[in-house]
Structure formats: structure tokens, C-alpha cells
Structure 1
Amino acid sequence: MTDLSIKLSAYLDGELEAADVEMIEALLETDPAAQAELDALMAADAVALQQFDALLSDPVPLALAQKIRSSPVGIVAELPAGRPASRPIWGALAAGLALFVFGGMGGFYLKDQISPTGTVVANAGWLSDIADYHAVYAGQQRHLVEVPAAESAHLVKWLGASVGVDFKIPDLTDFDLTFEGGRLLVANGKPVAQLMYRQPDGTVIALCLQSSVNGSTVSAPDFKQQTIKGFDFVSWKTDGASFVVIGPGGKSGLADIAALAAREV
């Protein structure tokens, strides 16, 4: 791994000093090769998270289960002082193993996907993918979106055609949310439009939409609230589309944001 790769990896993990962050962002602005390497690292993170989620649904080998059972309870390896935390996937791995050790291990199967915070996300569908994307992009500054808010007309036309859903960009300024722009995602093998908003304190809230054969026209959407992989979701379906608002866990007012978004989108 090159010095640049190491610094880009640390940049993604939020481990750089402010001066180094400015240097990296200046480089990304002028060096397409560096930006391409950063994009590859982000894509690798997303793939690794998806592969780990799939691994959690596989049977646990009996030999491993027996070894874990025979280990003294409470042994937890701690990182040396000053050593930075590793990739988010390893946090998920630790949480999954902890649940396996202390949760009974009945049948030696992990039948549900487990988030880094211990939240069960079985049958989360496209929302699980959205959580993975949000974990990567919400921490971005210069590269939060693919198409900026200044090109909103193009963004609506492009994303609408790509996703197959006609929509408008909701005005969420009542919640101190500034529209930053959007990007195209893929979840459950289908295109997803992601609209990104940011509050003055840096909190990022996203509105995502995807075509849905189960969507139906209703006067009052049926909102569903859930927590997946440490993020809070408010989702609903209407007019042949699925919608979701996602924000950090414990974010107050997310349901109100979703209600306004549903009226305007």
C-alpha cells in the first residue's frame, strides 16, 4: 500500500489532522487519479460490509462454536493506547461475535444480520444497503454529493429517469436543512435516488427513493420507523415508489422531516 493509499484510508476513517485533511481535499480537487483511488476505497468498504452481512447468515462451524463455548467469558481484546480504530466492518464483526458468545448460540446459526450497535436488521431489504451507503457518504465534506444543488433541474431529470420515479426536491429549510445535491445508488439490485441535506452543525439527512411494484396511491402514507446499523429510518410507500428518510441514531424530529418530505416530494 502506498503512502497516498494509507492517507486516503485514514481520511475516510476520519483519522487525519485538520491540516492533512485540507491537503488531501486539495489533492482530490486537482488529481483525478487520487479521486479514483478514493472512490475505489469507498467501493471496497461498501462491498466488504455487504459480504460481512452475508457471512452473518451462514451456519457457524461446530468446531468454532465449541471453541467459543470453552473460552472464558469476558475476555475482550483491547487496542493498545493511541492505536486508531480499524475499519467499521471490524466493529460489526466484534458485535456479531459478542452476540454469538452471550446470546445462547441456539442451533449454531446467526439467522439475522446484526448492526455495529447490535440492532437486528433481518429482512431490512434495500434499507440495509442505504445504511451502508450513508455510513460512507455522510462523513464527506467536499464530495458529499455527485451532482450539486446548483444543478437541481438536471438532477431531478437524471435521477427520475434512472430510478423510474417522478419527484420534486422537498424544501426542508423549516428544519434547518440545506439541500446539497444528490447521487445515484444501487440497493437490492435496483437504482436509488439519494437527495442529501445538511444542518448547520454538519448533521446529514438523506431522502432516498426507489421504484416499487407494491407502492399504491394513498391520501396518508403509512410511516414505518426503525433503526438499522446505527441509523434511524422513517420509510413509506406511495404512487409506485418506496421512500425513506435516514439520519443518525437518536436524531429528534426525523418523523416530522419525513412527513414534510412526503407531502412535497
Structure 2
Amino acid sequence: MTDFSEKLSAYLDGELDATEAAAVEARLESDPAAQAEFDALMEADALAQDVFEAQLDDPVPFALAQQIKAADLTVPANSAAAPTPRSGWGAIAASLVMLVLGGVGGYVVKGQTTPPVQTAGWLADIADYHAVYASQGRHLVEVAADESDHIEAWLGNTVGAEFSIPDLSEFGLTFEGGRLLVANAKPVAQLMYRLPDGTVVALCLQASSRETDGTLAFREQTINGFDFVSWTANGADYVVIGPQGQPDLNAIAADAALEI
């Protein structure tokens, strides 16, 4: 476990100050290997959260509830034991333990609640936005599809990455328009498409300083109930997002990557 791996774990847990977090983000933008490590850690974290949330639906045994309420988690003030560095996986495990003690079935320990497992990175932010906006009807977008030229100029200039709106009609997707988001403190362009059944699929992009060799490398992951296919090209990070299990998402991303 390297020092940077430990920092990635701390960044994922929101434990770094602003200066340290900025240093990690700069490293992620310039180092594909570091980004790949972070993506794997974030995916594992999201999977752990999904598993835990599924367990919340199970009834809590009364005996376990009594043990949780009676647990003494106080650390003696004169304790000489120093905390040991946690690996990325250890951080996730520790977060899950605290969640069990702090919130299973609505119980708390000595009146204290613990924060939920966090997923960092721009994809987690996109998942949060998509969960809200995909359910909108009239207000799905800020600027409608009939102003496509304006969308390309406005969002392209704002995010710092030129693009053309892909035609994804061969997948049954109708372009509805676009909106501006913010993820990891950077502007993001979100292009919204809708299937005949009302399902919303989005294509998002933000400027990136990562260099590529011209080969498209697609990464797949699931975060908070949404499937993602992401890639980096031409100075920008891209991602296609749809509901978990959405068919053809890989093909949609591949086609969008060629057209955008």
C-alpha cells in the first residue's frame, strides 16, 4: 500500500483538507494509473454501499438492537494507542462497521449518528444529478433541443471542451436538450436523451488534462443504481449514464464517442 493509495482512501472518505484534496485531484487528472486505482476503489465503495442498503431492508433482531444500544464506543482519553494507516479496503470495511453501529434499523449509539458511506468523484455527482433530473418532465433540460447550436456553443465554452451533439436516434433515443451541472467543482455539460417509454439516458462531459494515446478505453461501472460507460478523449472526460441494466449502453457510448 503506497502513501498515495492511503490518500485516495482518505479522499474517498472526505478526510483530506482542501489543499490535500486539490493535490489528489491534480494527480488523478494527470496520471491514468492513479485514476484507474481510484475508479476501482470508488466502484468497490459503491458496491459495498449497495450491499449495505439492501441489508437495511431486513428486520433487525431485537437482541442485536439491544447490544447496539448498549455498546460502549468511548475511546479512553489517556489511551496511548495510535491509529494505524488504513488501506482503501480497510476504510470501506471500517465505514460499514460504523454504519451498522450508527444506523441499522434506525438505531443510534448513545445518541450519535454516523455519516453514510460516501462515493467521491465526478461520476458519483452525476449519479446524484441524474436521479433528480431524469424524473422531470417539462423541466428535464435548461435549453431545449431546438436550440442545439446554442447548446453546443454555450456548454462547450463553459466546460472548455468543444463538442457536437450526437444523433443517437438509431437506439430509439430522442435528443431533448441540455443543462449545465457542476461535479468535483468543475462545470459539466449534460445532454439529455429520452426513449419512447420515457427512460432518460444522458451524455455528460467535462474538460480533462489527462493525455491519451488516441485509443478509446471504455470503463463500465454501476453507482447508486445507475450504469456508467466512461472514456477520455480530445481533452475531455465523457460518460453515458442510464438506469441499471439499461440495454445497449455500451453501443450508445461507442457511437457517441465517434460523433461527439
Q: TM-score range by the shorter chain?
A: 0.5 to 0.7
For 2:252, the aligned partner's letter is I
Shift of 1:101: 2.4
1:210 aligns to 2:214 (yes or no): no
For 2:100, the aligned partner's letter is V
Partner of 1:194: 190
Q: Is the 8 A contact 2:168 2:174 kept in 1?
A: yes
Distance in 1 of aligned mates of 2:159 and 2:12: 29
User: Could you report, residue by residue, the CA deviation over 1:94-150 in whole angstroms, capped at 9, with x for unpaired residues?
Assistant: xx9798329xxxxxxx99935xxxxxx4xx410011001001000000000000000
Partner of 2:243: 248
Relative to structure 1, the CA distance from residue 56 to residue 70 in structure 2 (aligned partners, 3 Å threshold; closer, same or farther) is farther
* 1:1-265 equivalent positions in 2, closer than 5 A: 72-73=63-64, 100-101=99-100, 113=117, 121=119, 124-216=120-212, 218=214, 220-265=215-260
SS at match of 1:233: strand
User: Could you report, residue by residue, the CA deviation over 1:194-220 in whole angstroms, capped at 9, with x for unpaired residues?
Assistant: 0000000000000000000114351x3
Distance in 2 of aligned mates of 1:197 and 1:145: 10
User: Could you report, residue by residue, the CA deviation over 1:39-90 in whole angstroms, capped at 9, with x for unpaired residues?
Assistant: xxxxxxxxxxxxxxx99767xxxxxxxxxx9963489xxxxxxxxxxxxxxx
For 2:155, the aligned partner's letter is L
Distance in 1 of aligned mates of 2:213 and 2:170: 26
For 1:221, the aligned partner's letter is L
Q: Matched residues, percent identical? A: 58
SS at match of 1:246: strand
Name the structure, 1 or 2, with higher relative contact order (CA <8 Å, separation 6+). Answer: 2
SS at match of 2:63: coil
Q: Is the 8 A contact 1:194 1:209 kept in 2?
A: yes
SS at match of 2:126: helix
For 1:209, the aligned partner's letter is L
User: Could you report, residue by residue, the CA deviation over 1:21-53 in whole angstroms, capped at 9, with x for unpaired residues?
Assistant: xxxxxxxxxxxxxxxxxxxxxxxxxxxxxxxxx
Q: Is the 8 A contact 1:156 1:169 kept in 2?
A: yes
For 1:179, the aligned partner's letter is F
- TM-score, reference length from structure 1: 0.57
SS at match of 1:247: strand
Distance in 1 of aligned mates of 2:124 and 2:186: 13
SS at match of 1:168: coil
Relative to structure 1, the CA distance from residue 200 to residue 233 in structure 2 (aligned partners, 3 Å threshold; closer, same or farther) is same
Q: Is the 8 A contact 1:215 1:242 kept in 2?
A: no
Distance in 1 of aligned mates of 2:198 and 2:240: 17
Question: Structure 1: any 5+ residue segments left out of the alignment?
Answer: 1-53, 59-68, 76-95, 103-109, 115-120
Question: Structure 2: any 5+ residue segments left out of the alignment?
Answer: 1-10, 16-59, 67-94, 102-113
SS at match of 1:256: helix
Relative to structure 1, the CA distance from residue 97 to residue 74 in structure 2 (aligned partners, 3 Å threshold; closer, same or farther) is farther
Distance in 2 of aligned mates of 1:231 and 1:253: 14
For 1:256, the aligned partner's letter is A
**Stretches of 4+ moved more than 6 A in 1?**
96-99
RMSD: 3.2
